[in-house]
Amino acid sequence: MALSITTWNINSVRLRLPIVVQFLEQFRPDILCLQEIKCQNDEFPADALRELGYDNIILHGQKGYHGVAIVSRLPLSENHRQDYCGMGDARHISAIFEWSGKRIRLHNFYVPAGGDEPDPTVNPKFAHKLKFVDEMKSLRADAEPGISSILVGDLNIAPFENDVWSHKQMLKIVSHTPAETDGLLEVVSRGGWLDLMRQSVDPSQKLYTWWSYRAKDWAAADRGRRLDHIWSSPDLGAHLDSIEVLKEARGWERPSDHVPVTARFSA
């Protein structure tokens, strides 16, 4: 039995509903995790997605900003929302689904972007980001006995040299500073997580999931960053078949600046 899970920062699900529908009709992942839905729960376009067979939807929405959702063709249970940093922001949601005899806890995250100045003493947004990542260090892939784990989302950090277009030029740019990258790698190591994207794509190769709106010609410039991630507990690593970064979606009509990333597993 195959399993496919997609993560996508959609940057307003109502504004970009046409490309969400386009993606689901064309690629049919079993589960789609969205970040930055930018709507409250009762404003989410659930009916349009249920018409496509995605009957299981859990939401953690917020007026105007943030918000995460899990949209699934598989049943979901035991949904949970964690209020990282006690800010009241809708940045995390999780649920359990079953696949190939396994119970799997799926976490969907939207980590704070952190603003422009990489100095927590003068930039509260960057301080918030570092605190958020620090709190994530207690999240373990084996937290629940007998339950495997997958963690996806826009983590807003590109941890490795080839996760950005220029390691040297990005070292003082928020998303690739050592304070962030070291912190995120500590989340991975402490929690016993596998970085499935880098398991599939060698770290020596460039790998991006985000291209700025500010670029006049994003494709020609290709100044990307890998801000979106898919991790798992070690037991699921051997089941990974492939990772697909749908770069073409960055060129769709009224696109997000992030593209869908899909992990495919086999039993």
Report the distance separating Cα 220 and Cα 71, nearest Å: 33
**Helix boundaries (H) for 192-231:** 196-200, 218-221
* pLDDT recorded at residue 64: 87
* pLDDT recorded at residue 120: 97
* pLDDT recorded at residue 245: 98
Mean pLDDT per 10-residue section of the chain, whose length is 267 residues: 97 98 98 98 98 98 95 97 96 98 98 97 98 98 98 98 98 98 98 97 97 94 97 98 98 98 97
CA diameter of the chain? 51
Residues 6+ apart with CB under 8 A from 148: 102, 103, 104, 105, 141, 232, 233, 235, 236
* pLDDT recorded at residue 151: 98
